[in-house]
Amino acid sequence: MTRYLFATAAGIAAMLLTAGGPLSAQETLTEAEAERQGALSTRDVIDDVLTGAPKAVIDALGGRLYEVGTETVMLTDASREREIVVLWRYPKNFSGKTPLVIISHGGYGSDRGYSAYPHLGTAYAQIGFVALNINHLPSANEDLHRFDRPTDVTFVINSLVRQRWPNASGPDVLAPPAGFEGEIDLDRIGHTGHSFGAYTAHALGGAVLAPTMGVTTFRDPRIYAIVPISPQGGYRFGNYDNGPADNSWTAITIPSYLMAGELENPTWRREPFDRYPTRGDKFYTMGGGQNHGGMGGRGTDEVRRTLAANTALFFHVYLRDGEGRCEIGRLAPLPGWTIERRLDPSAGPGCR
């Protein structure tokens, strides 16, 4: 574990790049290289579940669907000897500034994880966000994977910051996709992930981890809102719950939208929602009839549409100050799906 001696609270803070300095560039993968590394085929990169949705759904998400462009890039974090492949999805013919949404896959690591959840990345880009799926390679063991995952995300954000520095180049610099004509807002970033990706979202959002891990927080203040899908409750991946005032989730003060399936022990998976503080709006959806795979995008078109539409609305509200706070969880409703809210009393009136 020598290579994780940096992982103290001060070390994590030092990893967050916000200003200029020396830098590096990106290696853009050709389609053939991406395929060789196990990416999904081109026809699977775009999973359009919003086209054909009721007009009310599209209107709630801003009223327009953009055509989506893609680009695959490899980065290298030399300090950890770790390669990270990212897949951009972006709105074509977009002008102006727009937030970024980062998507983390589940599991214990994969060299093709960036190809997961295309329904989410496609939907976010269609409504005008820039979406970035990243792969989290396997780690030596589960404990190290808990460190690597949030550190991967912070590294990717730092790589985007670096490309703004003079003469930036190298394998740790990430430029916006070549076909994107707008500007990415790096001060308002959203993150979503499924399963171990949900752990990643909570870690970046401020979860306090058990002292036995050696690191109590991976909070990245550039993450402005999170959607943990099928997360872990207490006593898994460093989470603990010793009551309302002493648990892993009391420090998550940013807007959060937790989702879990009816058939994957939702009572345990919703524990973070029940322990979240009142600061920052909090939402919980139980997906009726859904198991772990269904919540991870393996369900029907209708299920993927409901997941994509409601998480997109959440980011629309909290990353770009859109309308619809009280409609989160209600778009493209399916039988048995529920929504609960714990709204910050200082953030405006409640919902009926």
CB neighbours of residue 215 within 10 Å: 21
More confident residue, 186 or 17: 186
Task: Tell me which DSSP letter residue 265 carries.
Answer: -
pLDDT of 217 over the 70 cut: yes
**pLDDT given for residue 142 in this prediction:** 79
Q: Judge whether 110 and 33 are in contact, CB under 8 Å.
A: no
pLDDT in tens, 105-155: 999 888 889 999 999 999 999 999 999 999 999 887 778 888 999 999 999
Amino acid at 112: R
Q: Report whether pLDDT(166) > 90.
A: no
Residues counted in the chain:
352
pLDDT of residue 17: 54
Give the three-class secondary structure for 315.
helix
pLDDT in tens, 69-97: 999 999 999 999 999 999 999 999 999 99
- The single-letter DSSP state of residue 296 is I
Please state at what angle helix 301-320 crosses helix 118-126, rounded to 10 degrees.
50
What span, in angstroms and rounded, lies between the C-alpha atoms of 177 and 8?
Answer: 33
Please give the average per-residue pLDDT across 16-45, as a whole number.
41
Q: Domain extents for the chain? A: 2-347
Cβ-count burial 98-117 (b if 16+ within 10 Å, e if not)? bbbbbbbbbeebbeebbbbb
Higher-confidence residue: 82 or 4? 82
Report the C-alpha gap between 133 and 148 in whole angstroms: 16
| pLDDT tens per residue across span 309-345 | 999 999 999 999 999 999 999 999 999 999 999 999 9
pLDDT, residue 280, reads 96
pTM for the structure as a whole = 0.89
CATH number belonging to the domain at 2-347, selected among 3.20.20.70, 3.40.50.1820, 2.40.50.140, 1.10.8.350 = 3.40.50.1820
Q: Across residues 4-18, what is the average pLDDT?
A: 42
Read off the pLDDT of residues 236-287 as tens digits, 9 standing for 90 and up.
888 999 999 899 999 999 999 999 999 999 999 999 999 999 999 999 999 9
